[in-house]
A and B are shown apart, each in its own frame.
Chain A
């Protein structure tokens, strides 16, 4: 069963964790939507994307009744506010909302940079240092999880149900698994992040999530062929 309030269209791409956030949020609210894939590998952008997001020309873009909403976390909040009769994505208490927003912003600030740092790291020592940055970030999130829901025995940052921070962090799991495989490291470990280890399992099995996270092998290939070379080339150009 799908509920629509006017037509809903998502411009996205399967490898993009930011687009995955929106897929998950729409699924959570049982919203029927049309999905249009943008080809990130070729870099050629559709006219609709350029017209809908002229400032950044990036996916995801949600089109609702033809009106574009851009930036993944802004889109997720929009979905939460429009389809307010579905399960709440943001917590109801203002302080809990501020905490969820803080950690989601932290994920956006730190994780992509940390993953890029691992990709461009030159030599074992540099790689180890870059991996440590990412793992330290996960430990902070483990502590935040313990302080809130996990401390009460709840499976998700959102409590009994997935919420804003689950979506913000969980959308990266495909890429985090690829990082583990590409660089032969463990990011989530029983020794350092036990609660996040079970959280990963619960999150990936959630009905709104399970079909949206990219398959690790497929994403691994895509990373080797397209993304890692692009990150390295960009870093080399910037160094000049």
Chain B
């Protein structure tokens, strides 16, 4: 069910693209997906996002929307009569959800690359600690917003912050395996452990997360060596 033609330009490993896929699934939107080769970007991508030339880009009736969280809000507003609200209804809850989503982008996401670029065990451990401290803050935020009973940041249903943060979970699993660390743990973030499980099983999420094995191979063979090489030249 769509309102005009909907097309998503993305790449399968990108957590930012995953966010958009989940939001579209949540709103039962039919769309065409175009996989981009970032080494050789399509004319459509360059034309649709001339400022950054990055994915995801959502094209709706030919009009481009860029930046994953802006796209998610657009989807919520354009298909407002379908499915549940992605953003909470109350303005204060919306501000809180936006705050933590921005925190995920500013502080949590960069640690993936940070860990990949860290030179030596001590540096790696420092990045892991910083990341885990951030996850504890999100654990507290989950408790504050959902209390004891609700499974998601959005309450009974996944919402904006679930999508913003949950889109990173496949990469978290890859990092845990590659660096032999535990990021979400019962000891420090018990609520997030059950949240992650519920999130990944959600009907709008389970087919949208990249395959962890495939992602691990990509990380091991391409991404981590690339980041290590970049770190070595600094």
A57 to chain B minimum Cβ distance, whole angstroms, is 13
Q: Which of A70, A102, A140 is most buried by chain B, counting CB atoms within 10 A of its CB?
A: A102
Interface code B88-99, partner A: CB below 8 Å = 1, 0 otherwise? 000110110011
Residue contact B99 to A95, C-beta cutoff 8 Å: no
The smallest C-beta distance from A75 to any residue of chain B, in angstroms, reads 7
B interface secondary structure, majority: helix
Asked if residues A95 and B63 are in contact (CB atoms below 8 Å), the reply is yes
Q: For residue B19, give the distance in angstroms from its CB to the closest CB of chain A.
A: 14
- What chain A residues lie within 8 Å of B78 (beta carbons)? 94-95
Stretch from B23-31, B68-76, B210-218 contacting the other chain: B68-76
Pair B98/A98 contact, Cβ less than 8 Å: no
Residues of B within 8 A of A146 (CB): none
Q: In whole angstroms, how far apart are the Cα atoms of A98 and B56 in the complex?
A: 14
* Residues 43-69 of A contacting B (Cβ, < 8 Å): 55, 64, 67, 69
A69, B99: Cα distance in complex, Å: 8
Q: Are B65 and A95 closer than 8 Å at their CB atoms?
A: yes
B169 at the interface (CB under 8 A from A): no
A98 touches B65 (CB 8 A): yes
* A169: min CB distance to chain B, Å: 15
Q: Please tell me which one of the listed residues B60, B94, B95 contacts residue A95 in the complex, with CB atoms under 8 A apart.
A: B60
Contact B92 A97 (CB under 8 A): no
Task: For B74, give its contact among A77, A94, A106 (CB under 8 Å).
Answer: A94
Pair B137/A55 contact, Cβ less than 8 Å:
yes
Is B36's beta carbon under 8 Å from chain A? no
Residue A116 at the B interface, CB < 8 A?
Answer: no
Give A81 to B77 CA distance when docked, in angstroms.
14
**Contact A102–B95 (Cβ < 8 Å):** no
Interface residues of A in 101-117 (CB under 8 A from B): 101-102, 105-106
The answer to whether B66 touches A82, judged by C-beta atoms less than 8 angstroms apart, is: no
Given A71-B98, A74-B98, check contact A97 B73 (CB 8 Å). yes
| Residues in A whose Cβ lies below 8 Å from that of B12 | none
Closest residue of B by beta carbon distance from A109: B52
CB neighbours (8 Å) of B66 from chain A are 102
Q: Does B67 interact with chain A (Cβ within 8 Å)? A: yes
Q: Are A69 and B95 in contact (CB under 8 A)?
A: yes
B61-120 CB contacts (< 8 Å) to partner A? 63, 65-67, 70-71, 73-74, 77-78, 91-92, 94-95, 98-99, 102-103
Given contact pairs A69-B95, A74-B95, a sample of 9 additional A-B residue pairs in the complex whose CB atoms are under 8 Å apart: A55-B103, A55-B137, A69-B99, A71-B99, A75-B95, A94-B78, A102-B67, A105-B70, A140-B51
Tell me the B residues contacting A by CB distance below 8 Å.
51, 60, 63, 65-67, 70-71, 73-74, 77-78, 91-92, 94-95, 98-99, 102-103, 137
Shortest beta-carbon contacts, A-B, top 7: A94-B77, A81-B91, A98-B74, A78-B95, A69-B95, A94-B78, A98-B65
